[in-house]
Amino acid sequence: MRSIYLFACLICWLPNADGQSTLERDILEQDSLFWLAYNRCELETFGNFLAEDLEFYHDKGGLTRTRDSLVAGFSRGLCATGSNQVERRVVEGSVVLYPISDYGAYLRGAHTFHTLVDGKEVGGVEEAQFAHLWTRENGRWVMSRVVSYDHYPQETAVAEVAVPEAILRTYVGEYEAPQTGTVNVTLVAGQLQLQSGEMRFTLDPLTETTFAVASRPLIFEFVTTAGGQATTLRVRENGNLVEEARRVD
């Protein structure tokens, strides 16, 4: 029986006419479909590519255990509005797959995450490395362990729009955030400046209420009253709401 299993595995790893093994072709196809579901916020399909006892390691977010916990996190974060504000793209030529006997395969590579507003790319690109352990579970390929690490922002141009200075002035003020503390927004030479402690950003307008920065995958959104008075400053990183500051002055 052991020899029959090894023979079957050998067939899976033999190269096809295009140089790919059946194993490599199948897993790369599944990986591509997984990321398509991620980009589209198709959470049920997304979850079907994950093992029940999944462990997801993220250099910024830490460890998430189980498939259900990860899917729930996405439903509250990136996919809270029903559409993803971040698009994942693989770095061409970076993906490498290594078969693991009696288990499946180890897949690694690099990818970029592109910030979107109303479906349009607005800058704020982040690059990272990834590693996936693929195995068979109930007759299908799933990821049992996922590692996402070495995230760093790429310097990108931001497609700006013209916002009247009178509107920009309505955002100037002091805000208090639960994690960041005091956030000051000022207007200097026709551009909004944000400062909190040692952190300082120039905010580039994407719309009349949303702003980006060239050096980070951050989107700043001012929430206003019907009269145009700013009350809240929301901060999203890679599409996730990471801070909400209330105006105090």
156-203 pLDDT tens trace = 555 568 899 999 999 999 999 998 899 999 999 999 999 998 888 899
- Is residue 106 domain-resident? yes
**115 and 177 co-located in one domain:** no
Which domain covers residue 92, as residue numbers?
2-154
| Average pLDDT of the residues in 227-245 | 86
**137 and 181 co-located in one domain:** no
- Is residue 83 domain-resident? yes
Domain boundary residue, one of 92, 121, 154? 154
Give residue 43's identity as a one-letter amino acid code. Answer: L
- Is residue 160 domain-resident? no
**61 and 116 co-located in one domain:** yes
136-159 pLDDT tens trace = 998 999 999 999 999 987 765 555
- Is residue 144 domain-resident? yes
46-80 pLDDT tens trace = 999 999 999 999 998 899 999 999 999 999 888 88
Q: Which CATH number fits the domain that encloses residue 133?
A: 3.10.450.50
Q: What is the mean pLDDT of the chain?
A: 86
Total count of domains within the chain: 2
The predicted pLDDT at position 81 comes to 81
Q: What are phi and psi of 49, to 5 degrees?
A: -90, 5
- Is residue 32 domain-resident? yes
The predicted pLDDT at position 207 comes to 86
**190 and 115 co-located in one domain:** no
| Average pLDDT of the residues in 87-113 | 95
Q: Which residue has the higher pLDDT, 19 or 171?
A: 171
Look at residue 35 and tell me whether its pLDDT is greater than 50. Answer: yes
The predicted pLDDT at position 85 comes to 80
Domain boundary residue, one of 154, 177, 192? 154
- Is residue 90 domain-resident? yes
